[in-house]
Structure formats: structure tokens, C-alpha cells
Amino acid sequence: MQLAGLKLDSPFLAAPMAGVSSPVWRLMARQGGAALVYTEMVSAVGLLRRQPQTLRLMRSLPGEEPAALQLFGADPEVMGRAAALAAGLDYAIIDLNLGCPVRKVRRQGAGSALLDDPVRAAEVTAAVVANAGRPVTVKLRLGYDADTTEEVVPGLVRAGAAAICLHARTVRQGYSGQADWEAIARLKSWCPLPVIGNGDAKDAASANAMLAATGCDAVMIGRGALADPWVFGQAADLWAGREPGGPSAGERLAAYKRHALKALELGGQRHAVHFFRQCLMNHTKGRAGAPSLRRAVGMAADLERLMALADELFERLEREAA
Ligand SMILES: Cc1cc2nc3c(=O)[nH]c(=O)nc-3n(C[C@H](O)[C@H](O)[C@H](O)COP(=O)(O)O)c2cc1C
């Protein structure tokens, strides 16, 4: 399928998630079948100041392409300059964050605060489009406490956006309550751009249900992919009329370990421990059993120890499930 000028293998995309969507996580999501991966949100101001923390977020790895770089900021001129700086990188798409509900971001007038000012939102988009040298997509929420997409999106379309991703929750909702899929269908009914639906596509079945219920062009999966990075491939299987496949527990553990070693190479011990611990915690979240082992995973400080604990943990879970 075609989206924002890209040819994608399926309509299932990996959501940008701060603290999660590292290059290694994105690589794992791509191997799990994600058709397109996003960086976590990157500060335009941080990029212009070449802050080491920001530059770290912009690294990419061979094999994760196609990938989108997500920028956030409030000032059209700053955002335009940041997009120009990012133009030399290997990202197929620049995505703009118009959805972040975090107070620190909103206070700068960035993220979801731009939804309160449709003129500025369009100016920011136009500035990025003029400088990015590649398709620019926009990810937004419904509005502060009601659906304001009809006021905001037309300006983004005129500014040259190539696709709109709607996380169908208000800013006030945060991550609670249900995403309003009817709002995605409404947007799709009049928006001339491809619409990416987002919110509560938790697994292969619900991702396909979102496509069917809303008519959207693609579905972005966030938290569902934390628990199961192979959800994208399973969703694509269903979409193509195949029986959803997926790796065994042993193959999953092997993939987590392989990627943890890549994280070690890329970012050292701390990064690798954070990544691998996150994989293990997300994998076991909501499952009964092995509480003391999971506590030990939470406390282990080096990768070698975590690897040993992971073997024990998977073995125990397998035994308990049998
Ligand atoms: C831990 C976490 C970090 C997130 N960080 C970002 C981000 O950096 N940029 C962004 O646009 N959305 C971010 N989001 C929102 C997700 O991209 C997505 O819109 C939201 O989780 C709803 O999708 P889901 O129901 O499939 O999880 C984040 C969500 C989570 C859970």
C-alpha cells in the first residue's frame, strides 16, 4: 500500500513512544512486521542547540527504514530550521507532534497546545514542509476536551501535510477512557489526505477492526506493541486473510536478547539494561506467576544478570502455562 509517498508492506505502523521507541526497539518492531516506525518525539529547540540528549534520540540503525522522525516545537521558524537540519538524515518522513498532553510540552505552546491555535499549527506545518525535503505528516489528538479536528486539519492540509494521524482521544482524557473511533471515521469522511487511525488498536483483531470500522488508511499501534512487538505481523496476516502467526516463547526471548546486545553496542550497559528490562516487564505484564523473579528483573543492574534471570523467568512461565 501507498502512504505519504511511501510504499508500505501493510497498513500497520508502530507508534512513537517516548522512552520506548529507541533505534533498537524500532528495529525489533520492524522485524515484528511494523510497516513504518517512528522515533520518539524530538525537541526542535534541542536539535538546534545540538543537545547531546536530543542528538542521541535521532540516531537510526540499518534495517529500520522506512522510519519517521517526529519533531515537536511551537515556533514555525525554529521548526523549519530543525526540519532543514534533519534533512540530511535517513528518515523517510518528518512527523509533527500535535498531540503530546504533557504539561511541560504544552507550556511551551508545543504538542497538543498547537490544537488550541489552528493558525499557528498550520504555520508550523508549512514551515516544516518548506524545509523537510520529504513528506511531512502530522499526529494529533481530537482537541483539548472536544473534537476540533474540523477546525485544525483543513489548515494542515493547505500547509502541505501528506497524511494525518489521529489519536482519537482528547488532551484531557490523557491515556484513559476509550478512543473515539467514530471521530476517526468522521475525519476520514471529509479529509482529502490519508488518515492513520490510532487509539486502542491493542492486538491483531482490534487493529483490523479499526480499519473496518473507520475506513482509515492505516492503523498505528502503541501500547499493544509493548506487550507484543510481533502484533504488526499478526495484524498483517489477518489483513491478508492468513492465519496469524508469531514466534514461540523461546523465539521471543532469543529476539529480545539479540536486540539487547544491539542496544549494548549502540548505547552501552545502561541503555541495554533499560531496553531488556522493558522487554521482560512488558512481556510478563498482567501475567500471574513468578513475582519474585520479576522483582529481581526490576532490580538487576547488568545485562549478564538480566539474561540469566530472563532464562529462568521464561522457563518458569512456560512451566506454569503447561
Ligand atoms: C510511553 C508512551 C510514550 C508516548 N510518547 C509519544 C511520543 O513521543 N509522541 C507521540 O506522538 N505520541 C506518544 N505517545 C502516544 C502514542 O503514540 C499513541 O498515540 C497512544 O499510546 C495511543 O495509542 P495506543 O492505544 O495504541 O497505545 C506515547 C504513548 C506512550 C504509552
pLDDT digits (tens, 9 = 90+) for 216-233: 999 999 999 999 999 999
Flag whether pLDDT at 101 surpasses 80.
yes
CATH of the domain at 47: 3.20.20.70
Counting from 1 in the atom list of ligand 1, the atom nearest the Cα of 99 is 11
Q: What pLDDT band is residue 162 in, cutting at 50, 70 and 90?
A: very high
pLDDT at 192: 98
Is residue 16 in some structural domain?
yes
Residue 173's contacts (CB-CB under 8 Å, 6 or more residues apart) are: none
Task: Quote the percentage of the chain above a pLDDT of 90.
Answer: 91
| 191 in the same domain as 315 | no
Segment 269-274 shows an average pLDDT of: 96
Out of 190, 208, 239, pick the residue that ends a domain: 239
pLDDT at 176: 95
**Which residues have a catalytic role annotated?**
100
How many contiguous H segments (helices) and E segments (strands) does the chain have? 14, 11
Out of 170, 205, 239, pick the residue that ends a domain: 239
Which triple of cell numbers denotes residue 223?
Answer: 501500547
Predicted model pTM: 0.97
- The total domain count for the chain is 2
Flag whether pLDDT at 37 surpasses 80.
yes
| 80 in the same domain as 154 | yes
Segment 264-274 shows an average pLDDT of: 96
| 230 in the same domain as 260 | no
Residue 270's contacts (CB-CB under 8 Å, 6 or more residues apart) are: none
Is residue 40 in some structural domain?
yes
Counting from 1 in the atom list of ligand 1, the atom nearest the Cα of 40 is 8
| 223 in the same domain as 202 | yes
| 22 in the same domain as 115 | yes
pLDDT at 87: 87
20 lines ligand 1 (CB under 6 A): yes
Task: Quote the percentage of the chain above a pLDDT of 70.
Answer: 100
Q: What pLDDT band is residue 57 in, cutting at 50, 70 and 90?
A: very high
Q: Where are the beta strands (DSSP E) in 109-151?
A: 136-141
Domain carrying residue 176: 2-239
176 lines ligand 1 (CB under 6 A): no
222 lines ligand 1 (CB under 6 A): yes
Counting from 1 in the atom list of ligand 1, the atom nearest the Cα of 202 is 26
Flag whether pLDDT at 288 surpasses 80.
no
Is residue 244 in some structural domain?
no
Out of 239, 268, 294, pick the residue that ends a domain: 239
Segment 8-30 shows an average pLDDT of: 98
Ligand 1 center to 144 CA (angstroms):
16
Flag whether pLDDT at 56 surpasses 90.
yes
pLDDT at 285: 84
Question: Could you tell which of 12, 13, 17 is best to mutate to test the pocket of ligand 1, judged by most ligand atoms within 8 Å of the CB?
Answer: 17
278 lines ligand 1 (CB under 6 A): no
Cα separation, 225 vs 228, in Å, equals 5
Is residue 222 in some structural domain?
yes
Flag whether pLDDT at 286 surpasses 90.
no
Is residue 38 in some structural domain?
yes
Segment 13-18 shows an average pLDDT of: 98
CATH of the domain at 264: 1.10.1200
Flag whether pLDDT at 284 surpasses 90.
no
| 120 in the same domain as 18 | yes
> What average pLDDT does the structure give for the chain?
96
pLDDT at 293: 85
Segment 1-24 shows an average pLDDT of: 96
| 64 in the same domain as 38 | yes
Segment 147-162 shows an average pLDDT of: 98
| 276 in the same domain as 199 | no
Ligand 1 center to 321 CA (angstroms):
31
| 120 in the same domain as 268 | no
Ligand 1 center to 55 CA (angstroms):
21
Ligand 1 center to 100 CA (angstroms):
8
Task: Please check whether residue 126 is in contact with residue 94, taking contact to mean a CB–CB distance below 8 angstroms.
Answer: no
Residue nearest atom 28 in ligand 1 by C-alpha distance: 17
Beta strand pairing status for 2-3 and 6-7?
antiparallel
| 206 in the same domain as 304 | no
| 220 in the same domain as 259 | no
Q: What pLDDT band is residue 291 in, cutting at 50, 70 and 90?
A: confident
| 303 in the same domain as 155 | no
Could you write out the DSSP letters of every residue in 66-86? SEEEEEE-S-HHHHHHHHHHH
